[in-house]
Each structure stands twice: as C-alpha cells, then as structure tokens.
Structure 1
Amino acid sequence: MSGLRFATLVLLAATAATTAKAQTCPALFAGGQGPVLVNAKLTDRTTALCFEAFAVLHSGVTRTPLYSAEHLTRESIAAARTVARDDTFHEETRLPPEARARLEDYVRSGFDRGHLAPAADMPTLSAQAESFSLANIVPQDRAMNRGIWSDIEESTRRFATRHGSVYVVTGVVFEGESLREIGAGVLVPTQLYKALYDPATGQAGAYLVPNAAGREWKSLSLDELRTVTGVDVFPALSPAAKASAMTLPNPQSGGHGEARRPDGSQYQGWRDWLWRETMRALRKAVRQLLREIF
C-alpha cells in the first residue's frame, strides 16, 4: 500500500471516528450531523461531551474545547433571559486529569475564562451551571471577550429571536508555530469563530475574530472557514450553502455583555432583586460545600 493511500485511510478513519462521537447528541447539530474535523492534526486525543443545552469536542492536546454546538430557538432565548447568572467554574471530571484544564491554570493568567457556548444562552439554571465547565472554556483576551465577542453573542441571540431558530458552532483556531500557553499547558487560541446556520432560509456564515483587543472581525463562508480552521462545521449543508456567506447581524448594533446580565433594574423592585441575589449566593455556597465534601 502506498504511503499516500495509507495516510488517506488514516485521515478517513479519524474523521469517521470523530463524526461518530459527535452523533451522541444529534439534536444539537444541523441535520443531526456534528462538525467534522478535516484536518487530521486536530483529531488526536479528542473527546465528545454532551451537556443539557450544548455539546463540545474537547482536545487533550490543547486542554480546551475545539468547538461547541448549540441549537438556539426563540423559546430557549426567552427562557435564558430569565436565568440569573451564577458563575461557578469547575473542572470537567469526565475528562482524564492529564487532558483537562484546571482552575489554577487560569489564576493570574491575564486571560478571561471565555465560554464557547455562552452562559447567557442557557435556558435553565442547570444548563447554565454546566456551561461553566472548563471543557467549555478557553483563554480569551479580556477586552475582546467583553467587547466585540460579547456583542457577537448578543447579536446571535437576537438573530435566533427574530428568525425563530438558528444552529450555532463556536470554535477556536490555533495558528502559527509558537503558541502561547497558560498554567500547565492550556493553549491560547489565536482566533475564535462563531458559525450560524438559518434553517428557514438555508443560509449560513461565520464570524472570525482575533483573540486580541480591538473590534476587528471578518465574515466568512463555511468553505472559507473550513480552510482556516480545518473543521466542516455544518457537514449536512449543501455545497451552495457552504460556498456563500449569509449577511450576518452587525455586532456593532448588538447589546453589550454587561447589559444583558440580570440586575436589579430588570425586576419589579429592589426587594425582588435582593431575594433573587440572596438565593443565587446561597445556591452557589451549597454547591461549593458539596464539592468539598464529595
């Protein structure tokens, strides 16, 4: 067997294995098909994980997710806007210790713990708690995370509300020979992307954003995104849908991250707000106590 044929068979086998693992929660994927890694280098030590409202493919090489997948609907976004944010980052115990990020990796790293599947997308408190798993987190530039990226996330939620349904794949790019890392080997992405597919129109496109301060972003077709990332994010789509980029919501007109988090002004009165915040703090304390006990 020739070397080229053997390498091709290895790539096809790795791609098939990755796709098979992604099928464990097909409702979150457009057409029931999860993203396919077409770059063989990405397939090493990957683990597919299903959560209540999103799925991730985690890499033991980078100790980060490679992508998250969600199906956002008008109803799920409406429900998510009623869930008070409760930051409880935690390590993902379904991953082996040598492959996963640790809480201490992010301490004094200079980077935000950036969600791929945003906490503000989660329609229930339990789903939101799952979104704080480090299997869904990457080192993200603080200004980018709280600025342009937050606006892209909010623009995506508004798009789902207007159109009724949107499939979303959010992922990372590691570009270049010399990558930064934090802690015990958690790699820092050079870029992040968010791909959208509108099943009502059959159109799709993606934002591509440098993991750096500023408001720079590009709009890409899925074919262009595949070239950059090595990932076919929506394999069930037609070649025509992948070839042209849809008109994406302008993140300049999106909401800002801090504005979308529930605070006292969103409730009928300060007593209601105080009660909710007290219960949020109590739930957080109980979860922390249970983790220390068990």
Structure 2
Amino acid sequence: MKVRKFVSGLSVMLVMACASVQAKSILDLIPTVGQGSQQGSRQSSLSQGEALSLYSPGQQQNSFDDCSDKFPQTRPISLANVPAKMKPMALCSDNFAVLYSQTSKTPLVVVERLNSQLLQDAKGEERTNAFYPDPRIPKGARAELSDYRGSNLDRGHQAPAADAPDQKAMAQSFALSNMIPQDPDNNRKIWSKVEKDVRKFSQRAGGNVFVFTGPLFDAGFQTIGENKVWVPTRIFKLVYDESSQRAWAYVLENGNMPIQKPMDYQTFVETTGMKLLGDLPVSGSVGRLSSI
C-alpha cells in the first residue's frame, strides 16, 4: 500500500512514498480516537451572514495574497503543489492563514506569525466560543456544526483562540476551517500545554516566530458526521524562530497520551515527510529538547 507524504519547499507537496516510511503524513498517522465529552454543547454560533461579515473582500478570495505576511519570508504555500484530489483552498484571516482541504473538510496546515507585541495584545481578550461553518467554503465541502454533534470529539483550534490580539481575530478563530476533530483530553490538557509553551517562547523571542499546525492521518483514520470530516490520528506543531533560526516540532497522537519532548526539525522531516521550511536556514533546535 502506498502512502501520501505531505512535503513542502515553503510550498506544500503531497508525494507518493513507500509504506515502509515509519510516520507518513497527510494520509498516514495514528490509532483510534478516544472518547470524551462533546466540547461546548451549549455554545452559541454565528449566522452565515454574520460570519461572512468577519472577512474583508480580500479574505473572501481563494488566495494567500491577503495574508502572505503570516509565512516566513512572505512566501506562502502554493496550492499548485497540493494534489487536486485534496481540493485545496487558501483562506486568509487577520491572524492566521489556512491551507484547507475540501476533501478532508479540515485544515491541512494553519500558519501563524507570533511575536511579543501580538501576544501582549492577546492577553485578556474574551473567548467568544461562537463556532460557525466557514461561509467562504461551499456547502458539502466544509464541516458543519452538526458533524461534531454526538461525536464525543472537540472542535480543536489549530490557530489557538488565545493567540488572537483582538475580538475580530478571536471571532475568526472559531471558524470550523480552523478546527480538527480532537480528543477532548488531548485538546484540553496535552495540546493546551503545547500551545502555552509556544506562546511562552514567542513572548520571549527577539522577533517573529512562525508556527505551522495541522493534522496527520494514518491509514484507517475515522470520519465523523454526514460530511465525513476526517479525524486526525496525530497532530503536529512546528515552530520556527526567525531571529535565532532555530526550529523544533511536536508530533503527538490525537488521544490521551503523555506529552512528549519536542523534536528537532530534521527529525520532524524524517518522521512526517513534511519539509515545511523548505530552504530556510535552520541552525538548531530548542535547548536540549527539554520542555520549552
């Protein structure tokens, strides 16, 4: 059986590889998802009109032109390098960019540019909890709120709500195009700790820190809902500190598993097949791979 690999040059490419590669990529990583309480069963939503009004005309286009600054060296991911069968879309928001798949009905990669000033602005912003299907994506090619209902899985942010520097960015973070079906214990405990560690580092960094977050799917991955939203088997978060040129990553199972130490960038590439930093200089990792 052949396995797809998610690769990039700062562009992202999916290529075919042997099943002997230990940890593959967009179609290939992890076990069954655990059980947990449904996140936010009483939470409000936005109407499609209200949701669309959150986005500027430029952000309503299938293009990264309006958010190229979210990528290192303003070099966005190229949709031309993603297989047509994944039906990719480029979605811009104020605080992050999403490479979205109309096939998986999930993001493939979400990219943020963090720095101390942005995170200072984000402190104290009230969490809205108003989830909504992204109105920029056609019906049938997107996740709906009903897909998560009764799944026992959370709607897990890829660009965290806590990174949002204002209320508009906060509201945009609750689009389902920024969500994956996530094990509740993983989302609320393990992954929350990873997100906090990345924020802590980014607040101390001397400049911009670029964060790539996304799902990985093992052969045999599950789906939820009428729209068959793909359930990730693993989740990754790759961090690149522009000033120091250090890079490290987490690749964690989508379950209630002990948190693992971050890995260096080369190990991340070898483990996942994803060369998301392309030819950017990488001069080291984080400490001796202890917790941030």
TM-score class, shorter-chain normalisation, is 0.7 to 0.9
| Counterpart in the other structure of 2:67 | 25
| Counterpart in the other structure of 2:234 | 191
Structure with greater Cα Rg: 1
| Counterpart in the other structure of 1:214 | 257
Aligned residue pairs total 234
Cα distance, 1:22 vs structure 2? 4.4
Counterpart secondary structure, 1:25: helix
When residues 224 and 21 of structure 1 are mapped into structure 2, their CA distance, relative to the original with a 3 A threshold, is farther
Correspondence list, 1:92-131, <5 A: 92-131=134-173
Name the CA distance, whole Å, in 2 between partners of 1:63 and 1:217. 28
Q: Does 1:246 align with 2:286?
A: yes
Code of the residue aligned with 2:286 in structure 1: it is M
Q: Does 1:133 align with 2:179?
A: no
When residues 43 and 53 of structure 1 are mapped into structure 2, their CA distance, relative to the original with a 3 A threshold, is farther
| Counterpart in the other structure of 1:34 | 76
Counterpart secondary structure, 2:138: coil
Instruction: Point out which structure has higher relative CO (alpha carbons under 8 A, 6+ apart).
Output: 2
Name the CA distance, whole Å, in 2 between partners of 1:236 and 1:183. 39
Report the RMSD for the aligned CA atoms in angstroms: 2.8
When residues 59 and 89 of structure 1 are mapped into structure 2, their CA distance, relative to the original with a 3 A threshold, is same
Q: Does 1:80 align with 2:122?
A: yes
Alignment counterpart, residue 203 of structure 1, candidates 224, 246, 249: 246
| Identical-pair percentage | 35
Cα distance, 1:15 vs structure 2? 5.7
Counterpart secondary structure, 2:252: strand
Answer whether contact 2:12 2:77 (CA < 8 A) is retained: no
Q: Does 1:151 align with 2:205?
A: no
Name the CA distance, whole Å, in 1 between partners of 2:290 and 2:70. 22
Answer whether contact 1:34 1:234 (CA < 8 A) is retained: no
Name the CA distance, whole Å, in 1 between partners of 2:77 and 2:269. 10
Name the CA distance, whole Å, in 2 between partners of 1:218 and 1:42. 35
Counterpart secondary structure, 1:212: coil
Name the CA distance, whole Å, in 2 between partners of 1:218 and 1:67. 21
When residues 123 and 236 of structure 1 are mapped into structure 2, their CA distance, relative to the original with a 3 A threshold, is farther
Runs of 4+ in structure 1 displaced over 4 angstroms? 20-24, 35-43
Q: Deviations over 1:260-292 (max 9, x none)?
A: xxxxxxxxxxxxxxxxxxxxxxxxxxxxxxxxx
Cα distance, 1:67 vs structure 2? 1.2
Cα distance, 1:137 vs structure 2? 0.2
Name the CA distance, whole Å, in 2 between partners of 1:42 and 1:68. 19
| Counterpart in the other structure of 2:58 | none
When residues 24 and 220 of structure 1 are mapped into structure 2, their CA distance, relative to the original with a 3 A threshold, is farther
Name the CA distance, whole Å, in 1 between partners of 2:277 and 2:85. 17
| Counterpart in the other structure of 2:86 | 44
Counterpart secondary structure, 1:62: coil
Name the CA distance, whole Å, in 1 between partners of 2:119 and 2:224. 33
Q: Deviations over 1:13-69 (max 9, x none)?
A: x968xxx95455221011112346898658720101000000101111110001111
Alignment counterpart, residue 266 of structure 2, candidates 219, 223, 247: 223
| Counterpart in the other structure of 1:181 | 223
Q: Deviations over 1:149-186 (max 9, x none)?
A: 1011011111111114311111111112x111110200
Q: Deviations over 1:209-235 (max 9, x none)?
A: 110012232533333333444433222
Answer whether contact 2:12 2:78 (CA < 8 A) is retained: yes
Name the CA distance, whole Å, in 1 between partners of 2:69 and 2:108. 19
Answer whether contact 2:262 2:291 (CA < 8 A) is retained: no
Answer whether contact 2:93 2:169 (CA < 8 A) is retained: yes
With normalisation by structure 2, the TM-score equals 0.73
When residues 35 and 208 of structure 1 are mapped into structure 2, their CA distance, relative to the original with a 3 A threshold, is farther
Higher helix share: 1
Code of the residue aligned with 1:110 in structure 2: it is N
